[in-house]
Structure 1
Amino acid sequence: MLNGSGFLSLFKKISANLLGIGGAQVDTILDESTYRPGDLVTGKVHVLGGEVAQEIDDMDLYVMANYQLDSGYSQSIKIYSHRVLHRFTISPSESRSFPFQFQLPIDTPISLRTCTVWIKTNLDIKYGLDAKDNDQIVVQPHPWIEKMLRVMGQRKFELRIVDSEYAPFLKRRLPFIQEFEFRPDFSCKYIGKLKEIECIFFLEEKGMEILLEIDRKAREVNDWKSSIDVWVRVHLSDLDLQRSEDELANLLDQTIEAQIKR
């Protein structure tokens, strides 16, 4: 039979495991808050023991992002996971820190407009309620993407919308893509010829593929054929991407004009 202190100890253990009350707490501290795709993410996971000893099966970090479903609802997805530690016991009130490092995936979406990226820490507590922590990060464009965004601006295209959209038909690693929608401003030479251009950037180890959706305006009234959207794939090697912005802008012009004339 349990005495008073034994019953209290059992109650604390049940509360910590099933309800999380008085259980272990986790707090992840990142060395930086801003990254680019491919950067090394470093930091420490701090674990503080609760009122009872608890067995931890796994400690994992997840890179999380959100994207839009066809229904219009937002969906969160794990785009990368990193195991910090496998199996350990945290004693009551014990404080422990675990360093980590991992590479941010090259296809991590950029933190623009509605797109959010965060690091989720999960402490898998054996027979208990998991402890979690979420830390939002800012993902800046990869230098190659940043360069192409400047090229679009040089040709007087205005970035209007950035969306992460569900696109399993492209059969990429992730079930969504990040789409950049540009519209010609009043000083753009394509005003009156194009409605918009949508760009999707696929980073690769030695270059980048750009998928362009060129939305042409009809050349004549009721000329619906010339207003059909055109999809174009452009592959730029790492050597191509070392070219000047003027040279890349000229390449963009050649691609657009070839579609306008079709």
Structure 2
Amino acid sequence: MSFFKKLAASAGIGSAKVDTVLEKDAYLPGEEIRGTVSVKGGNVEQQIRYIEVLLSAKYAVVKDDKKEWKTATIKSHRVTEAFTISPGEERHFSFSFNLPLDTPISMKAAGVFLFTDLDIQGGIDKSDNDPIIVKPHPWIDAVLKAVEELGFRLREADCEHAPYFKQRLPFVQEFEFVPVAQHYRRLFDELELVFLLDDSGLEMMIEADRRARGLRGWLEEMYNEGERLARVRFDEAELKDAEALKQSLQAIIEQNAG
């Protein structure tokens, strides 16, 4: 019977199971994530090579006017090295890591997932996949609120392939607004923003014009046609002054309306 149990476990039947629980559901970029990985042994003793948690997000790649979705690992964290799990045994492993500042915000189509990989020697690996909510960093939130107060509505916030920016990740998150205020509706059809957050402030790239690009996004178009993106940087003090920030954004938006 032992031989057949081992054979079944190697095929994933009666094998160890893994479950990951986080202390909470929502986090800010830069915040510490803490959780516990629980492993329950199956019908036979098994050797576990390691447990790893991977933070990931999907991003869009446009090729030949077709949109494809790929997955990028934002952060990987090794929870434990090799150990043995006995039949029916339960083991629990705590872990923690800081959420990277360039983690996408959970808005519209953008989502972030925590994937737990239980690597089983001689068997089928087990996994657990859980969505997490990433709230806007206070500095990004201040800009988003100011843009809305100026007369815009957020239409999309997806992640787009952008290797030409030479950032750590192969994508950036693009925030696409439509003007609802009559003044801006006369000037352009879309306002698109990209944020690059660091410890001392926030860099913002901006585009506002009337051109309909379809699947070929403004980031790719600007890069391929050699056009310079409008870029502006705000430090912490500027981002904390809501009224001054709104006035600065208003001037920048109108200056760059195409």
Root mean square deviation of aligned Cα? 1.7
- Is 2:36 the partner of 1:39? no
- Contact in 2 for aligned 1:155/1:188 (Cα 8 Å): no
The answer to whether the aligner puts 1:234 opposite 2:236 as a matched pair is: no
User: Are 2:145 and 1:147 equivalent residues in the alignment?
Assistant: no
Partner of 1:49: 41
Aligned residues: 241
Identity of aligned residues (%): 42
Residues 158-217 of structure 1, C-alpha deviations (whole Å, 9 max, x = no match): 1112211111111111111110111211x3432211222100011111001001012158
Paired letter, 1:138: I
Q: Whose Rg is larger?
A: 1
In structure 2, distance between residues paired with 1:38 and 1:147: 17
| Distance in 1 (alpha carbons) for counterparts of 2:140 and 2:147 | 11
2:198 maps to 1:204: yes
Partner residue of 2:7? Answer: 14
Q: What CA distance in whole angstroms lies between the structure 1 residues aligned with 2:245 and 2:111?
A: 30
Q: Quick check: 1:158 aligned with 2:145?
A: no
Trace 1:87-166 onto structure 2 (pairs within 5 A): 87-166=82-161
Aligned equivalent of 2:251, options 234, 249, 254: 254
Q: Following the alignment from structure 1 to structure 2, what is the Cα–Cα distance between the partners of residues 246 and 80?
A: 36
For residues 259 and 120 of structure 1, what CA distance do their matches in structure 2 show? Answer: 41
Cα deviation, 1:60-107, whole Å, max 9, x if unaligned, reads 000011111213122222111011000100011100111111111111
Query: Which residue number corresponds to residue 215 of structure 2?
Result: none
The residue type equivalent to 1:62 in the other structure is: L
Q: Secondary structure at the match of 1:241?
A: helix
Q: Which letter maps to 2:253?
A: I
Q: Secondary structure at the match of 1:250?
A: helix
Unaligned runs of 5+ in 2: 212-221
Normalising by the residue count of structure 2, what TM-score does the alignment of the two structures yield?
0.89
2:183 counterpart residue number: 189
Distance across 2 between alignment mates of 1:122 and 1:188: 51
Q: Measure how far apart 1:231 and its partner are.
A: 2.6
**C-alpha contact (below 8 Å) 1:214/1:231 kept by paired residues:** no
Find the aligned partners of 1:254 and 1:95 in 2 and give their Cα distance. Answer: 60
Cα pair distance change 1:259/1:116, threshold 3 Å: closer
Aligned residue identity for 2:196? F
Counterpart secondary structure, 1:205: coil
2:72 touches 2:169 (CA, 8 Å); kept in 1? no
Contact persistence 1:215–1:230 (CA under 8 A): no
Moved over 2 A (4+): 187-191, 228-231, 256-260
1:225 alignment counterpart:
none
Change (3 A) 1:64 1:35: same
Task: Identify which of structures 1 and 2 has the higher relative contact order when contacts are C-alpha pairs closer than 8 Å and 6+ apart.
Answer: 2
* 2:15 and 2:41 in contact (8 A); partners too: yes
Scaled by the length of structure 1, what TM-score is found?
0.87
Give the equivalent residue in structure 1 for 2:72: 77
Aligned to 1:86: 81
Cα distance change, pair 144–204 in 1 and its aligned pair in 2 (3 A):
same
